[in-house]
Amino acid sequence: MLTYLRKRIISSAVPLLVVIVGVFALARMTGNPAALYLPLNATEAMREDFAIRNGLDQPIWVQMAQYFGGVLRFDFGSSMRTGESAADMALRAFPATLQLAGTTMVIAIVLAVIVGSAAALKPNGILDRFCSFLSMTAASIPDFWLAIVGIWVFAITLGWVPTSGVMGMAAWVLPVATLVMRPFGTLVQVVRGAMVSSLSEPYIKLARSKGATEYRVVGAHALRNAAAPGLTVAGDLTVGLVNGAVVVETIFGWPGIGKLMIDSILQRDFAVLQACVLLTAVAIFILNILIDVGYALLDPRVRPSAGAHKRRKARSEFRGQSNGPSTPSAPTANNPAAAVLDA
Amino acid sequence: MFNSKTPIQRTRRISMAVAAGALLSTTALAGCSVANSEDAAGGSAAPGAAVSDTLRVVLQQEPPTLEACESNLTSTGVVVRSTITEPLIERNPTTGELEPKLATEWSSDDDTTWTLKLREGVKFHDGSDFTAEDAAVTIERAVNSDLGCNVEGYVFGDDDLKVTAVDDSTLEVTAVKADPILPLRLSFLEVVPSETSATEKVREPIGTGPYKLDKWDAGQSINASAFADYWGEAPAFAKANYQWRSEGSVRAAMITSGEADIATGLSPEDNIGDRGVSYPNNETVALRMHADKAPFTDIKVRQAVNYAIDKESIVASLYGGRDKAAAQLVPEGVVGHSDSLPVWPYDPEKAKSLVEEAKAAGVDTSAQISLIVRTAQFPKIEELGQVIQEQLSQAGLNVKLKMLETSQHLTYQVRPFPTDDEGAIMLMTQHGNQAGDAAFTVDQYMTTKGAQSAFGTAELDKLIEEADASSEADRQAAFEKVFQYQNDNVVQFAHIAHQTGMLGIAQSVNYEPNSSSGDELRLAEVTAAK
C-alpha cells in the first residue's frame, strides 16, 4: 500500500505543477488589475506606483520565480484587495467549505443508502418508482432556485430558520439541505442500481436459504458489494463540493473558499486566487488518494500489486483457521459465495 | 460454521469505520468557528429575533478593508465614514453645503493656503485627544505618502499638500496652486491618530466617530459599539452589527424576516415591497460616443443618437418612474448642475433625417457601432442596452450590443482606449459624482485629454479651466455653461437618466436615506421606531 501511495503522490505531482503554472499564467491573461483597484481618474504615476508596489512591473518570469519561491515557503503574498496574507485568507475560508461539504456528504450518503436499498428490495415496485422519481427530481433541481425558494418558505413564511449566515446551528439547515439534494439524488440511483444487481446474485439466495435475517442480507452482504460504485460517485461529488459550493456560498453568505475564489477572479486578486486554487488542488489530490484507498480496501481486484502479499497472507490465515475451501474469501463478484460464510 | 470474521472483512470494516469517522471528524472540526459563531448580541440568533439595542445592517459585500484613507471606496466608506472615523469637514448630501465636523471653521485669503480651526474636547477611541497634529498626519498619510491611498487618486491627484499644525487647534493647509474647493477635497479625508502607521495601511482604524470597532470576524460580521466619550450626541443604538450578502433578494429577505434593520443596494426586483425606500444616489447613466470613427465623426449622427432614444419611456418602463431623464452628467444637488438645461426630446423622425443628412454628406452611416455595456453594472442594464440598440437601429444606425464583464469594460472606460474594435465605440457609462462639485466630473469626462473622455474641443477645455478656477456663485454659472456647450457643440454624450438607489429599512428603525447613503451610511442618524 505504501508503494501504491508513493506512486500516486509522484504521479499527482505533475498535475499539481500544471495547476500552479496554469493558474499563474491564466490569471495574468485576464487583464491588468490596476484598472480595478485605482480610481478611474488615477494618473499614470499612480498606475506605475501600483504596479511597483504589487510587483507587476517585473518581467513575467521574475514574477513566476517569486511565486514559486513563495509557494515553497507557503507564502502566497498579500491580497491586493484587503492587504491580508493570501494564505491566511484561503486557510480561513477553507474549513467553512470543508464543514459544508463534509456535512452534506455524510447526510447524502446515509440517506441515499437507506432510500436506495429500500428501493432495490422490490425493483419496479411502488416504492422503487417513487424513489426513482424522488432521486431524479433531487438531482435535477437547480440549487440557486432551491436556495431562494427555501429562504422564502422556511425563513420568511414559516420563520423556522434564518435566511442566511453562519450564526447558530439553525443557519446550517438551508445551505446543507440545498447542497444535499444533488448528491442524494445521484447516489440513490447509483446505490439502487448496485443493490438490485447485488441482491440478484446467487450468494444472496444462499444467505437467505441459510436463514440470515433480511437486515443482514441487505446490510452486510448486498450493501458491502454494492458500495464500490457508490464510493466512486460519492468521491466525485465530494470533490465538486470541496472545490467550493459557489452558488450556495454566495446566496447564504457562507464564508467558504468557492466564494473567495470567485471574488478573487473578479477582482484580479492574483495572490488569493493562486492560494485558493493550490489549496483546493492539494485537498482534491488528498481526497482522491483516500477514495482510491477506500476503493482498494472495498474491492481486492483493484488493489495494487503491493497489496498482493498481504492478501495472500490473509487468505492463508483464513484457510488455516477454517480448513475450508481453498478459494479466496473476499466477498466480491468473483466469488460471492464467500460473502455468506459468516452469515 | 464460521462465526469469526476473516482478517479482510475486519480490515474492511475498520477501514470503512475509519473513513466514516474521518469524514465526520472533518465536518465537526474543520471549522468550528463557523458552526459556533455568535450573533451581534453575543448569543445564538433565533430567526427573526430583533435585538433592540443593536442596529443590524446588511451590506452587498464585506469591506475589503476599513483603512480610513480608502474610505472613498463604497464598500469601505459605507461602514467607516462618519460612523467609525470622521472628517474635518462634512458635506451635507442634501444641501450640498460644507458643514463643520472636526474642524469648526475654515478660511482662505487666496484659495491656496487654508486655515482650519479644529474642534476641542474630541477624543479618539483609544482615549487620546484629537489635535492638529493628528489632522496633519492624516493629510500627510493620505495625500503625500507612498501608501497609495485610493482617496489620493480619487480627489487629490499627483500634487502634494503642505500641512502645518500651527497649534493644537489650528491647521494650515497649502495647495500647489489656488484651489477653491480644497475644503471639499478635505471632506474626503477621515481623521486618524498621529500614531497610525505611515508606511502600512491599517485594516481596523481608530477614529473619533460615534461608534468604535469591537470585532471584525473576517468573512462573517463586523461589530461596533457606541463610543462613550463621543464629543457629539450619543447614537440611538448601543451596538451595531454589519453582515453582508451578495444576493439582493437575500438582503431583502433579511429585512422581511426581521434579521436586519437596514439593507443596502436593493432594487424593486428583490421583493422588498413597502420596506424598500428609494433615494437619488447621484449616479447618472450616459452613452459616450467616440468620434474617431464613422459614423460618429459627424456631429449630426451624435445628435441623432440623442433624438432617437426615448429616455422618458425607458425611465417609466424599466425603472418604474423612479429615475429621472438626464440632460447632463451630474444630478441636482451637485454644484454646476443646470436646472434649465433641456433633456433632448424623443424625436425619431428628426433622428432619421439627421442620419440621412450625414449620409448625404458622405458619412458611412451603415458602419458598425459597438455599444459596450458592462454586465450587471446596475439593474436591468441588459434590457436598457437592448432598447437603445433597437431605437438606434430604427434611426438607421447599425448597432452591435457587446456585453462585457467589469475588467473588460474598464479597458473601454479609461484611456488608452482599445483601437482594434470593430467600428465606432459607444460606451454605456455610469458616473457617480459623490463629491458634489462638477469639477470631479468634467475634468475627467469632458476635457480633450480627460481619463474618461473620448474627445473634446479647445473651446470646451478653456471653459472647463475657467470653471475649475472660479469660486462660489461664479462656479455654478461657469459649470452650467460647460454642460450647455457640451450639448450644443460637442455632443460626446447622450445622457439617459439620473438614477436612484434603494435601501431596505425595517419597521423597527427610522432612517431617511439621502444621496450619500450608499457610500456613507451614518449610523448615528438611525433611530429606533416608536
Q: What is the pLDDT of residues B308-363, one digit of tens each?
A: 999 999 999 999 899 999 999 999 989 999 999 999 999 999 999 999 999 999 99
Beta bridge partners of B471: none
Taking the Cβ of residue A55 and every Cβ of chain B, the question of whether any pair is shorter than 8 Å is answered with: no
Residue B79: what are its φ and ψ, rounded to 5°? -95, -45
Alpha carbons A174 and B479: distance in angstroms, whole number = 54
With vertex at residue B236, the alpha carbon angle to CA B232 and CA B240, rounded to the nearest 5 degrees, is: 100
- For residue B65, give the nearest of A82, A253, A294 by CB distance: A82
The pLDDT tens digits of the residues spanning B485-506 come to 999 999 999 999 999 999 999 9
CB within 8 Å: B2 and A106: no
pLDDT computed for residue A302 by the predictor? 67
Residue recorded with cell 484651489: B179
The number of distinct structural domains making up chain A is 1
Taking the Cβ of residue B67 and every Cβ of chain A, the question of whether any pair is shorter than 8 Å is answered with: yes
Residues of B in Cβ contact (< 8 Å) with A156: 253, 256-257
The closest of A245, A231, A242, A21 to A112, measured between CA atoms, is A231
pLDDT computed for residue A305 by the predictor? 54
The pLDDT tens digits of the residues spanning A138-195 come to 989 998 999 999 999 999 999 999 999 988 889 999 999 999 999 999 999 999 999 8
The pLDDT tens digits of the residues spanning B76-132 come to 999 999 999 999 999 998 888 899 999 999 999 999 999 999 999 999 999 999 999
The pLDDT tens digits of the residues spanning A196-205 come to 888 888 888 8
In the predicted model, what is the mean pLDDT of residues A287-307?
A: 72
CB within 8 Å: B23 and A105: yes
**Res A326 pLDDT > 70:** no
Residues of A in Cβ contact (< 8 Å) with B72: 39
The pLDDT tens digits of the residues spanning A8-33 come to 778 777 888 888 888 888 888 777 78
> Pairing state of beta strands B262-263 and B54-59?
parallel
The closest of B500, B506, B414, B490 to B452, measured between CA atoms, is B414
Taking the Cβ of residue B231 and every Cβ of chain A, the question of whether any pair is shorter than 8 Å is answered with: no
CB within 8 Å: A102 and B27: yes
Cβ atoms within 10 Å of B206's Cβ, excluding its own: 21
| % of chain B at pLDDT higher than 90 | 75
**Res A291 pLDDT > 90:** no
Tell me the shortest Cα–Cα distance from A13 to chain B, in angstroms: 24
How much is the ipTM here? 0.78
**Res B418 pLDDT > 90:** no
**Res A315 pLDDT > 70:** no
Q: How confident is the model at residue B7 (pLDDT cuts 50, 70, 90)?
A: very low
How far, in whole angstroms, is CA B404 from its chain's centroid?
20
Q: What is the CA radius of gyration of chain A?
A: 26
Closest residue, chain A, to B413 (C-alpha): A40
**Res A227 pLDDT > 70:** yes
Residues of B in Cβ contact (< 8 Å) with A148: 249
Structural domain containing residue A124: 88-255
Beta bridge partners of B398: B368
DSSP alpha helix (H) spans, chain A: 2-28, 34-37, 44-53, 60-72, 86-121, 126-140, 143-150, 173-199, 202-209, 214-216, 223-242, 246-252, 257-266, 270-298, 308-322
Residue, of B270 and A307, whose pLDDT is higher: B270
- Give the list of residues 6+ apart from residue B347 with CB closer than 8 angstroms, or none: B307
CB within 8 Å: A84 and B203: yes
Alpha carbons A267 and A100: distance in angstroms, whole number = 25
Cβ proximity of A115 and B43 under 8 Å: no
Q: What CATH number is attached to the domain comprising A219?
A: 1.10.3720.10
What is the secondary structure of A150-185 as a DSSP string?
HIIIIIIIS--S-SSSSBSGGGGHHHHHHHHHHHHH
pLDDT computed for residue A304 by the predictor? 59
Residue, of A313 and A330, whose pLDDT is higher: A313
CB within 8 Å: A314 and B8: yes
Question: Of the ranges A7-11, A39-43, A232-236, B25-29, which one carries the lowest mean pLDDT score?
Answer: B25-29
**Res B275 pLDDT > 80:** yes
Structure-block grid coordinates of residue B444: 475627467
Alpha carbons A254 and A147: distance in angstroms, whole number = 13
Tell me the shortest Cα–Cα distance from A102 to chain B, in angstroms: 5
Alpha carbons A253 and A257: distance in angstroms, whole number = 12
Taking the Cβ of residue B215 and every Cβ of chain A, the question of whether any pair is shorter than 8 Å is answered with: no
pLDDT computed for residue B35 by the predictor? 41
DSSP alpha helix (H) spans, B57-97: 74-80
- For residue B250, give the nearest of A42, A43, A251 by CB distance: A251
Q: How far is CA B405 from CA B30, B408, B409, in A?
A: 35, 6, 6
Strand, coil or helix: what is B450? coil
**Res B64 pLDDT > 60:** yes
Does residue A5 lie within any of the structural domains?
Answer: no
pLDDT computed for residue A214 by the predictor? 80
DSSP state at residue B123? B
**Res B6 pLDDT > 70:** no
Q: How confident is the model at residue B382 (pLDDT cuts 50, 70, 90)?
A: very high
Taking the Cβ of residue B39 and every Cβ of chain A, the question of whether any pair is shorter than 8 Å is answered with: yes
- Give the list of residues 6+ apart from residue A170 with CB closer than 8 angstroms, or none: A160, A161, A162, B44, B46, B47
Cβ atoms within 10 Å of B360's Cβ, excluding its own: 10
The mean pLDDT of chain B is 89
Sign of the CA dihedral A126, A129, A134, A135?
positive
pLDDT computed for residue B331 by the predictor? 94
Does residue A240 lie within any of the structural domains?
Answer: yes
Taking the Cβ of residue B26 and every Cβ of chain A, the question of whether any pair is shorter than 8 Å is answered with: yes
Q: How far is CA A198 from CA A120, A195, A214, in A?
A: 9, 5, 14
Q: How confident is the model at residue B187 (pLDDT cuts 50, 70, 90)?
A: very high
The pLDDT tens digits of the residues spanning B209-239 come to 999 999 999 989 999 999 999 999 999 999 9
The mean pLDDT of chain A is 82
- Rounded to the nearest 10°, the torsion over CA B371, B375, B376, B380 is 40
| % of chain A at pLDDT higher than 70 | 87
Alpha carbons B178 and B23: distance in angstroms, whole number = 68
Alpha carbons A294 and A289: distance in angstroms, whole number = 8
CB within 8 Å: B408 and A330: no
Alpha carbons B91 and B187: distance in angstroms, whole number = 7
Q: How many CA atoms lie within 13 A of B408 on its CB side?
A: 11
In the predicted model, what is the mean pLDDT of residues B14-32?
A: 46
Does residue A305 lie within any of the structural domains?
Answer: no
Taking the Cβ of residue B158 and every Cβ of chain A, the question of whether any pair is shorter than 8 Å is answered with: yes
**Res B164 pLDDT > 50:** yes
Q: How confident is the model at residue A285 (pLDDT cuts 50, 70, 90)?
A: confident
The closest of A8, A55, A5 to A34, measured between CA atoms, is A55
In the predicted model, what is the mean pLDDT of residues B446-473?
A: 93
Q: How confident is the model at residue B32 (pLDDT cuts 50, 70, 90)?
A: very low
